[in-house]
Chain A
Amino acid sequence: MSDVSSPKAPGTADHLMFRILPHLVLFAVLLLIWEMAVRTGIITSIIIPAPSKIIGAIWELYVTKGTIYRHFFITFTEAVVGFAIGAGVAVTLAVCSALWDPFKRYVSPYAIVLNVTPGIALTPIIIAWFGYGMGSKIALAAVISFFPIFVNTLTGLIQRDEDREELFRSIGATDAQIFRKLRVPAALPLLFAGLKIGLTTALIGAVVAEFAQATDGVGVLMSRFSFQLNMAASLATLLSMTVIGLILFYSMEFLDDRIVFWRRESRGAAASRAKARAWKSRMGQ
């Protein structure tokens, strides 16, 4: 492959500005209308505070008082740990189900029952079991992130690619080799789709459990502000949840991009170069 690094097309930066600028303008205009509506009294500031008030609340939460960080960290941890547990169990059960048909037959009904039962309705029970601390939040996050990961992984693993399986058989591959070298990699795109959904639902689980009963976390912080009718601080806290969600989602997106690189055209060239380098160092050229 001719390894020509394409020079940046002239005006790329301008193009980016061109694409982003309209969004920024629109956003600024919306904020301005909102601000004016509150200041002129069309909207009562008790119900919806002005954007300037929300920005002030963010400033207070993050800079002058810094109250948010501890709660932010706690909720973030609950969601991630809950997700890790849910994902671990889901992937293990999916692999067992894919490898062994009777296992699938006996596990599936429970998975389906768990799915059709609204996971969030388990909140009081889980709090009774695990207490007011982080344990119950982690448990709820794990429970509701389980199902999308389980279903996606299992679907990915049991999809059959007859043509490639015939190729594997023709070169004398064992069932174990077909599973490891064909079925597992082929399932990765769906596994990651499941992980992305699961991670987002884990955050929902953590926050809902905090709403119900807790001493720390952004969910608690937000209920507290709402009870005090401090809408500006409440909305500022909501934005923190959005930030947690974005961090989680894009971390997974980043992994997806690199591990399931063959589904991303943009990643192909970089992956090729990495493979070429590894090959050359191994062959001592």
Chain B
Amino acid sequence: MNVMASQPSKTDSVVGAQGLGKTFGGGAVVALEDASFDIRPGSFVSLVGPSGCGKSTLLRLIAGLIERTSGNLQVHGKEVTDPRTDVGMMFQKATLLDWRTAVENVLLPTEVSRAVTKEDQKNAAELLRMVGLKDFLFAFPSQLSGGMQQRVALARLLQTGADVLLLDEPFGALDEFTRERLNVELMRIVKEVQATTLFVTHNIAEAIFLADQVFVMTPRPGRIAKIVDVPFDRPRPLSIQTSPEFNTLVAEVRDILGEDH
């Protein structure tokens, strides 16, 4: 099946894919099939779907962590071959280093690419302030709650300076209340840094609440079944989730996912 997103002009696309596919085990498992899309600068895209729909695969392809088996994929007009500095990724686990303080963890991406300057250190401290951890610069991960650890991971992601942010269920392991609060903050922060964001989730309401566009994905084989536009301005209040328009969108997405979800 061939799904076409509304095609903006090429220059207007930060992440572009044409017929992108990935198989594992020499073609035995089709993780992602024939994905085509263009993502506008500064937009927020949610990838939603059940396990095995290829949403994490798509993210890892864009991050350059795995190699595609078919099609094309560009970030900022350049083919993706390896991990690169204009793309940053955040995972479900905070993956902090236990022996580093929060601010040292945030500085890690800078450290692997060049010598750390005073400016970098100031920037890292500022980012921790931005994610609400200004009093925890020198705390070690074991002294932080799960939500706070993810905030550090978010600051570390921003420290990379990447303007394409890939988030793989970043708050999936947290409780409902913490997750909601972090989602609202995430929306504010990505707006502030003017990043283009791809956000993986299996929660339909969360996907719609955060995004300009929702890629609805279905499994076996993993593919993008439909791209749904979300008409509300960002950032949005949590209360929007009770509006009829919002719930119409939820119903639409749920309908596409069918019995699978």
Q: Which residues of A contact B (CB under 8 A)?
A: 1-2, 163-164, 166-174, 177, 181-182, 185, 188, 261-262, 265, 268-269, 271-273, 275-276, 279, 282-283
Contacts and interface: CB of A to CB of B under 8 A. Distances in A.
A185 B101 contact: no
B28 interface: no
B78 interface: no
B109 interface: yes
Contacts of B83: 169-172
Interface in B114-172: 118, 121-122, 135-143, 160
Most buried by A among B82, B89, B97, B101: B97
B112 A173 contact: yes
Contacts of A167: 89, 91, 95
B113 interface: yes
Given A1-B136, A1-B138, A163-B93, A170 B88 contact: yes
7 contacts: A163-B93, A181-B108, A265-B142, A272-B138, A279-B121, A282-B118, A282-B121
Contacts of A2: 135
Nearest to A274: B138
Contacts of A185: 97, 99
B135 A1 contact: yes
A272 B101 contact: yes
Closest 10 pairs (CB-CB, A-B): A276-B138, A171-B109, A173-B112, A170-B89, A262-B98, A167-B95, A275-B138, A272-B138, A262-B99, A172-B83
B240 interface: no
Contacts of B136: 1
A174 B114 CA distance: 12
A283 B138 contact: no
A269 B93 CA distance: 24
Given A163-B93, A171-B83, A171-B112, 6 more contacts: A2-B135, A172-B83, A182-B97, A271-B140, A275-B104, A275-B138
A168 B143 CA distance: 23
Interface residues of B, number: 35
A51 B48 CA distance: 77
Interface of B: 63, 65, 82-85, 88-89, 91, 93, 95, 97-99, 101, 103-104, 108-109, 111-113, 118, 121-122, 135-143, 160
A175 to B, nearest CB: 12
A170 B88 CA distance: 7
B70 to A, nearest CB: 23
Contacts of B97: 164, 181-182, 185
Contact of A283 (B98, B104, B112, B118): B118
Contact of A172 (B85, B93, B104, B137): B85
Contact of A268 (B108, B121, B143): B143
A275 B88 CA distance: 27
Contacts of B112: 168, 171-174, 177, 181
A272 B118 CA distance: 20
Nearest to B136: A1
B142 A163 contact: no
Contact of B63 (A1, A170, A268, A273): A170
Contact of A272 (B93, B108, B140, B160): B140
Contacts of B160: 171
Contacts of A173: 112
Contact of B65 (A169, A181, A282): A169
B181 to A, nearest CB: 21
A256 to B, nearest CB: 13
A159 B122 CA distance: 34
Contacts of B142: 262, 265, 268
B156 to A, nearest CB: 9
Contacts of A182: 97
Contact of B95 (A163, A181, A269, A279): A163
A129 to B, nearest CB: 42
A271 B118 CA distance: 21
A167 B153 CA distance: 10
B1 to A, nearest CB: 31
B137 A276 contact: yes
A168 B113 CA distance: 11
A232 to B, nearest CB: 50
B84 to A, nearest CB: 7
B129 to A, nearest CB: 14
A283 B118 CA distance: 7
Given A166-B65, A167-B91, A171-B112, A272 B99 contact: no
A271 B100 CA distance: 10
B214 to A, nearest CB: 24
B114 to A, nearest CB: 11
B121 A283 contact: yes
Nearest to A2: B135
Contacts of B135: 1-2
B66 to A, nearest CB: 10
A265 B141 CA distance: 11
A284 B80 CA distance: 42
